[in-house]
Structures are given as C-alpha cells and as structure tokens.
C-alpha cells in the first residue's frame, strides 16, 4: 500500500451472546510477583438459553456461545510461563467421543462445555499440580498481555432447567496472579441459565468480515469529528421465525473502550483517525461483551442495538467510515478490529 493511502480493515469475529458467566479460583497461594493489573474479577453471563428438542447430543446449543477478552498489564517480566485459567475446585471430566468437551463441578443440566482460543481452536487442559484443571493461553510478558477465547455449551442429554456455573482464575502458575497479586481479585466466573422455552435465535453465515475503506486524501479531514470514506457492508444471518436479535460491538484492540470510535490496531501507520461502524446511519456504541466487572461501581454494561424482528436468511446492513480524532492527521495505513455479539429478547 502507498504511504499516502488511508485504508481500514474491520474483521468481525462471530460471537453470539445470550450469556455465560465466569466465576472464581482457589488454587494454592503464591506471590513471586504482584505487579500485574487486569479488569478482574469478571463475570461472563449467558442469561437465558433453551435446548431445542431436535438438537443432537454433542452439538453446540444455539446462542450458547460467548467470547471473553481480558487485558493484563505487567510492569515486571513474569519470567518463563504462560497465562493459565484454572478451575477453582475439582478437575475437568472429558466425555467419551467428545475429547474437547468437558464437564466440571457446578456445571449441570446435561451440559458440557468447550473452550476455544483466540484463533477458534478447541483447547485441551494441561496437568497442573496433579489435576487436569487448567487451560493454558499465551506466554506471559512484561507490558500488555491479552487472554482471549470463547466458551460454548454443548448438549449432552435432556435439559435441566436452572442457573448453573463454575469458577476459574487467571494466573501464571507458581509466579503470580493476573490482578494485584491476589487470587480473589483474579477470578473469572462462567454462568448460564437453561429455560424451558426456546428463544428464537440466528446463526451467523459470515463468520469473518473484512471491509476495505477507500483511499482518502488527508485534506478531507479539516477538524475533529470530520468523517470520510463511508463504505457499506453486511453480516449475513439465518434466523428462526420471529427472532429478535440485537447487536453489540467490542473494540478488540481496546476492550474497555466505551465510545463509538474503534482505536487503531497495531501495525497502523496513519495517525489522528479512528473507524466507526454505523447501523441505520448511526454509529454503533462500543462496550464490553457479555460480561461485567464484579465489585466496581461504574462497571461497563453491554450496550446493544436492536435489529428488529428477523426470519430466515437476512443481512444486517452496516457501514464503516473514517473519523478524525485529533487536530492533525498523518497519512498511512489504518486498521481497526471489532468483535460483534448477538443477543436475543
């Protein structure tokens, strides 16, 4: 690409939201370091899903999938080791014929779960302190770290109505916890509710969407808030009759971003610009995915936009555009990444 070009790409990863909540961890005490901070404890909540009667055992329950992104910042190099998510009690139980699906203490209702990494690959647990109770993510390092993945529920048998969940915690084994060197402050909590009535949902036909914004002259940006390069794109859905989806966006580069402007992703060379995603000509607000930070007065809430009733094959008509965020703009390439979630009434 030419240095004077302004080009943006938005890769929207498939994430369905109807909830999931994460809980807490209680592995042994250690505190070699206590310099890392993270927006923890964090709850990921799937408030309401139903298991369709015709769904085969071993299939993912429609709508029962949620992503999690935990940014962690460390001022000291933790040393050799990787960020790991460990159950608070008990160990994982693999299921015959489903080697990447597990049950855990607190997980009931004829339900199993699968953890996927940031690339969508199913994860297998490792042995930690003699128990298969830990999922290992990327190596820990000084500075910015991100633990990212997704959690999905799998049908094993007939549904049991109720609310269930289990607890995990983030740490570098035997070195430090993810937040303030404290176990209780480093917890992730997963929970979900099984109802007796099916909620109409949608499946996403386009898992990843790449949008190329056009080359625009720097002279198009004359003041903060100026926009240019509006480009239409769509997300294809296949919805059950009378589904009522809502869409929420999370800034993958800065998950705590609560504005309506995506921040520039690493590798961008332009400056003074951001990217907005619009629905019906209005910028979509950014917010956390389906999680909240426990114990904080101003915990960010999921901000979603209703898409109205949908049935069958349908498309969410969206637009992306540049927006000026600083008094001066420098030419170059630009990249922003958003994750979208669908939730249902």
In eight-state DSSP terms, residue 327 is S
Place of tokens 């198009």: 220
| Distance from C-alpha of 213 to C-alpha of 9, rounded to nearest angstrom | 7
Q: Quick: pLDDT tens for 263-280.
A: 998 889 999 999 999 999
- The answer to whether 19-194 and 201-344 have equal CATH topology is yes
Dihedral angle, C-alpha 89, 91, 95, 101, nearest 10 °: 70
Q: State the CATH class of domain 19-194.
A: mainly beta
Q: Are 82 and 139 in contact (CB under 8 A)?
A: yes
Q: Quick: pLDDT tens for 142-164.
A: 999 989 888 888 888 776 778 88
CATH number of 201-344: 2.60.40.1090
pLDDT for position 231 = 96
- Beta strands across the sheet bearing 202-204: 202-204, 227-243, 310-324, 273-279, 282-283
Confidence band (pLDDT; 50, 70, 90) for 233?
A: very high
Domain layout of the chain by residue ranges: 19-194, 201-344
Instruction: Pick the more confident residue, 94 or 232.
Output: 232
Return the top range by mean pLDDT from 19-28, 74-83, 190-199: 74-83
Give which of 170, 176, 172, 123 is closest to 149, Cα–Cα: 123
Give the distance, in angstroms, between the CA of residue 251 and the centroid of all CA atoms in the same chain. 10
Give which of 33, 41, 32 is closest to 184, Cα–Cα: 41
Q: Quick: pLDDT tens for 309-341.
A: 999 999 999 999 999 999 999 999 999 998 887
**Beta-carbon contacts of residue 110 (< 8 Å; ≥ 6 apart):** 51, 155, 156, 157, 158, 159, 160
Q: Which two tokens stand for residue 14?
A: 């498939």
Q: Quote the Cα angle for 227-285-236, to 5°.
A: 90
Provide the H-helix boundaries in the chain. Answer: none
């Amino acid at each position: 690409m030419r240095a004077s070009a302004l080009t943006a790409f938005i890769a929207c990863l498939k994430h369905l939201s109807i909830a999931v909540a994460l809980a807490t961890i209680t592995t042994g005490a250690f505190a070699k370091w206590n310099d890392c901070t993270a927006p923890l404890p964090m709850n990921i909540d799937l408030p309401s899903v139903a298991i369709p009667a015709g769904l085969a055992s071993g299939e993912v329950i429609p709508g029962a999938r949620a992503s999690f992104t935990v940014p962690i910042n460390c001022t000291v190099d933790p040393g050799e080791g990787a960020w790991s998510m460990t159950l608070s009690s008990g160990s994982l139980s693999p299921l015959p014929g489903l080697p990447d699906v597990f049950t855990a203490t607190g997980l009931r209702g004829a339900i199993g779960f699968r953890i996927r990494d940031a690339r969508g690959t199913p994860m297998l647990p490792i042995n930690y302190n003699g128990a298969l109770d830990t999922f290992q993510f990327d190596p820990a390092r000084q500075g910015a770290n991100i633990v990212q993945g997704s959690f999905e529920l799998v049908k094993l048998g007939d549904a049991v109505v109720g609310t269930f969940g289990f607890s995990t915690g983030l740490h570098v084994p035997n070195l430090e916890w993810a937040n303030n060197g404290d176990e209780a402050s480093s917890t992730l909590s997963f929970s979900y509710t099984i109802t007796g009535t099916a909620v109409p949902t949608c499946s996403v036909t386009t898992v990843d969407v790449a949008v190329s914004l056009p080359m625009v002259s720097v002279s198009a940006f004359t003041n903060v808030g100026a926009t240019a390069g509006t480009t239409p794109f769509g997300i294809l859905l296949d919805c059950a009759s009378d589904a009522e989806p809502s869409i929420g966006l999370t800034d993958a580069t800065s998950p705590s971003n609560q504005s309506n402007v995506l921040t520039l992703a690493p590798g961008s060379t332009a400056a003074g610009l951001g990217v907005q995603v619009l629905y019906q000509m209005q910028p979509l607000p950014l917010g956390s995915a389906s999680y909240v930070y426990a114990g904080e007065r101003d915990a960010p809430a999921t901000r979603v936009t209703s898409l109205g009733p949908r049935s069958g094959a349908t498309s969410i008509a969206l637009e992306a555009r540049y927006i000026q965020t600083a008094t001066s703009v420098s030419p170059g390439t630009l990249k922003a990444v958003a994750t979208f979630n669908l939730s249902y009434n």
